[in-house]
Amino acid sequence: MPRRHPFAAAAGRLCNGTLWQYNRAPGANSALDAGEWIQTNASEIADVAGDNVNSIWVTGKNGTVWQMINRPVAGRSSSFETVSQPAGFRSIAVGRGKVFAVRTDGTLWRYK
């Protein structure tokens, strides 16, 4: 089973469109480690999905798709990068190295 990166596996979206990140307690080996949830600066998020190689993907309420890659290098922070301009995407899923998104018209798209 592939090792899941704690950053990618622990991102959540609330109904109000905010994005939260789960930080594990130092030295923890379990998902139930009494870590903490921290609200990020992201807002107006429609959906979020994480992969097991250090990144999360989100769709904005305006239909954009964004990717955030966790860069654990000192002095560099993680940031979102635009993958698409508003194109009507509402849902997103990630798996086996592929990213899929559903548009508001119900069509399924794959990111290349």
Could you report the per-residue pLDDT of 71-109, keeping only the tens digit for each?
655 555 566 677 877 789 999 998 877 889 999 999 999
Under 8 Å between Cβ of 52 and 3 = yes
Q: How far apart are CA 100 and CA 35, in angstroms?
A: 30
8 Å CB contact between 92 and 47: yes
The reported pLDDT for the residue numbered 4 is 40
Task: Report pLDDT digits (tens) over 15-44.
Answer: 788 887 777 777 666 656 667 788 878 888
Assess contact for 35 and 23: CB atoms under 8 A.
yes
Tens digit of pLDDT for each residue in 44-69? 889 988 877 678 888 988 998 888 87
Tokens of 50: 């994480």
Cα–Cα distance, 87 to 64 (Å, whole number): 6
pLDDT at residue 23 in the model: 73
Please tell me the predicted confidence (pLDDT) of residue 28.
Answer: 66
pLDDT at 91: 92
Residue that has been written with the tokens 């990630």 in this structure: 94
Predicted pLDDT at 35: 74
Task: Reply yes or no on whether the pLDDT at 1 is more than 70.
Answer: no
